[in-house]
Structure 1
Amino acid sequence: MQQQPSGPAAARVLVVEDDPTVAEVVAGYLDRAGYAVARAGDGPAALARAAEHWPDLVVLDLMLPGMDGLEVCRLLRTRGPVPVIMLTARGDEDDRILGLEVGADDYVTKPFSPRELVLRVESVLRRARPAPDTRLLRLAGLSLDPAARRATRDGTELALTLREFDLLVFFLRNPGRAHSRTDLMREVWGWDFGDLSTVTVHVRRLRGKIEDDPARPRLIQTVWGVGYRFDPGQTPADGDEGSARPDRRDSED
C-alpha cells in the first residue's frame, strides 16, 4: 500500500545539494511525504530556483562548490524570510554554530536518517505557521503580532528569524519564569532531542536584537544552574552580565 503523505501538499521545499545521490534520496523522501520538491546542485542555481518559485523551506548543504551554504543562506535572507535546515558533513561545533548564526533554523549532520530529516522539515514548517493564540503581545517596549509574524522594539521593526521570533513569543508569554534549555528546545523547537547549543546560539542572537547592551542583558537573564528567564523588570548590576550567578554551561553566552 502506498504511504499516505504526511506533509502539506502545498509546501515547497528546495533541496540544495551537490551530491546527486544524497539529493535524490532526500528529494525522494520529501516527495513521498507530500511536499513539492525542487532541486539545485550549487549556490547560483539555488538562488535562481528560489527567485522563480519562493520556497516554504530550504534544505541546504553547507559544503557546496564555489558559493558555500553559508553565503547562500545569507543571500536568501536578504531576499525574504524562509526557514533553512542546514546539512553538514562536519562534526565540528563551530560549523554548526556558524550555520545557526547566519539564520539557519536547524541543522542535520551527515550521515543522517532521511526519515529524521523529514521530521525536522515537518517540525520547522509547523512552527512557521501562525499559532492558534494570535493575541498581540506587548511588554518591555516589545510588540509582537503572532498572526502577522511581525515584531517591533520601541516602534522599530525587528528582523527576526523563524526561531528567534518563536523564542521571543514564548518568553513574552511566560515572563518571570526560569526555563531550562531542554524546556525551550521542547516548547519552541518542538523537539524532545537535539543539540542544546542551538538554544544557546538563538538566545545570544535574540539578545543582540532586543537588548540595549547584549553583553549585560536586562531582558533575557541567565539563571545559574537552570537556563534563562525573561524578566522585563530586571536591571543587572555592574559585572552581572545578566546572570544570577556565572553559569559555566552558559559561558559561551
Structure 2
Amino acid sequence: MTQIHIIDDDQALCELLQEYLEQNGYEVMCSHNGQAGLDSTLTHKPDLVLLDVMMPELNGFEVLRQLRPKTQVPVLMLTARGDEIDRVLGLELGADDYVAKPFSHRELVARIQAILRRLNPPEQNVGPLVLKPERLEASFYDQPLELTAAEFRVLAILYETPGEIVDKDSICQQAFGRRLQQYDRHIDIHISHIRKKMADINATETIKTVRGSGYQLLVNP
C-alpha cells in the first residue's frame, strides 16, 4: 500500500486529510512539526510527503533543504498563500509540485496520483542517457545522474520523443497532471536543474530551448 506522510502543524486538517486519503486507498502517517516530520520521513521512508510551509521548529523549506541530500522521496508542498516566491523557492529546493490552501481534496488526490504515476514509465535508453524508472535512477555517460522525482518525470517526457519539440504546457500536464499557469516557472526551473546536473558530467548541450515553443532533447539514439 502506498504510504503518504503528512507534515503539517494543523492537526484538524491532518485528521481530515488522513481520513480522506485512507478512503482512497492510501496508508497515512502524520507529523505536526518540521523536525518530527524530517525524522519520521528519514526513518519510515514513505512513498510521498505532503509538506506544509509554515510550521514550528523547522519550516517546510528547511525540512526540504535537509531532506534532499538524503532522499529523493516525492514532495508535494502545501502553501497557505500560493505566492509565486513560495512556489519558486520550493521548486528550487527540490519540491515536485505544490498546491495552495485552501484546496479541494479531489484536486489533492489528483496531484498525488499524477506524481506517483509518472514515477513508473517504461525503462528507456537514448544514447548516453539511461533511465531506470523502477528505481528512480538515471545515468549519463555511464555516470549517475542524481535527479529529484520531479526532474526525473520531466526528463522522461522529453525521452518519449527525442529530437522533437515538446511545449511546456504539455510537459506540465503529462508530468504533474495540470495545466501550466501564467507566469509559472515550474518547468523552467526543473529543466535548469537537469541541465546543470548533466553539464557537470558532460558539457555537451543536451536539452535545447526553442523560444516560444518548448524544449527539445538533443541526445541521438
TM-score under structure 2 length normalisation: 0.89
After the TM superposition, list the runs of 4 or more consecutive aligned residues in structure 1 that deviate by more than 3 angstroms: none
**Distance in 1 separating the partners of 2:63 and 2:113:** 22
Once the two structures are superposed, the pairs formed by residues 89-238 of structure 1 within 5 Å of their partners are: 89-128=80-119, 130-131=120-121, 133-134=122-123, 136-139=124-127, 141-189=128-176, 191-195=177-181, 196-211=184-199, 218-232=205-219
The structure with the greater share of residues assigned to helix is 2
1:236 matched residue in structure 2: none
Secondary structure of residue in 1 paired with 2:103: coil
User: What's the C-alpha RMSD, in Å, of the aligned pairs?
Assistant: 2.2
Matched residue SS, 1:78: coil
Structure 1 residue 152 displacement after superposition:
1.4
- Could you tell me which amino acid in structure 1 is paired with residue 191 of structure 2? V
Taking only the aligned residue pairs, the percentage that are identical comes to 38
Task: Return 91-100 or 149-158, whichever deviates more.
Answer: 149-158
1:194-251: CA deviation from partner (whole Å, max 9, x where unpaired): 434211211111111113699x982211112211111237xxxxxxxxxxxxxxxxxx
Aligned residues: 218
- In the alignment, is the contact (CA less than 8 A) between 2:114 and 2:175 conserved in 1? no
In the alignment, the residues of structure 1 paired with residue 30 and residue 82 of structure 2 have an alpha-carbon distance, to the nearest angstrom, of 25
Q: Is the 8 A contact 1:29 1:115 kept in 2?
A: no
CA distance in 2, matches of 1:209, 1:153: 10
Residue identity in the other structure for 2:11: P
Which amino acid is 2:179 matched to?
F
C-alpha contact 1:108 1:117 (8 A) present in aligned 2: yes
Q: Name stretches of at least 5 consecutive residues in structure 2 with no aligned partner.
A: none
Please tell me whether residue 55 in structure 1 is matched to residue 55 in structure 2.
Answer: no
Q: 1:89-139: per-residue Cα shift (whole Å, max 9, x none)?
A: 1232111011111111110111111221121112212222x22x32x4132
Q: How many Å separate the matches in 2 of 1:26 and 1:156?
A: 40
Residue 140 of structure 2 contacts residue 201 of structure 2 at CA under 8 Å; is this kept in 1? no
Q: 8 Å contact 1:83–1:105 — kept in the other structure?
A: yes
Give secondary structure in 2 for the equivalent of 1:82: coil
Instruction: Give 1:170 deviation, angstroms.
Output: 2.4
Deviation of the 1:172 alpha carbon: 2.8
Amino acid at match of 2:151: E
Q: How many Å apart are 1:78 and its aligned residue?
A: 2.6
Offset, 1:87: 0.4
Q: SS at the partner of 1:159?
A: coil
Q: Extract unaligned runs of 5+ from structure 1.
A: 1-9, 234-253
What does residue 27 of structure 1 align with? 18
| Closer/same/farther in 2, CA of residues 49 and 193 from structure 1, 3 Å limit | same
Query: Which letter does structure 2 place at the counterpart of 1:31?
Result: E
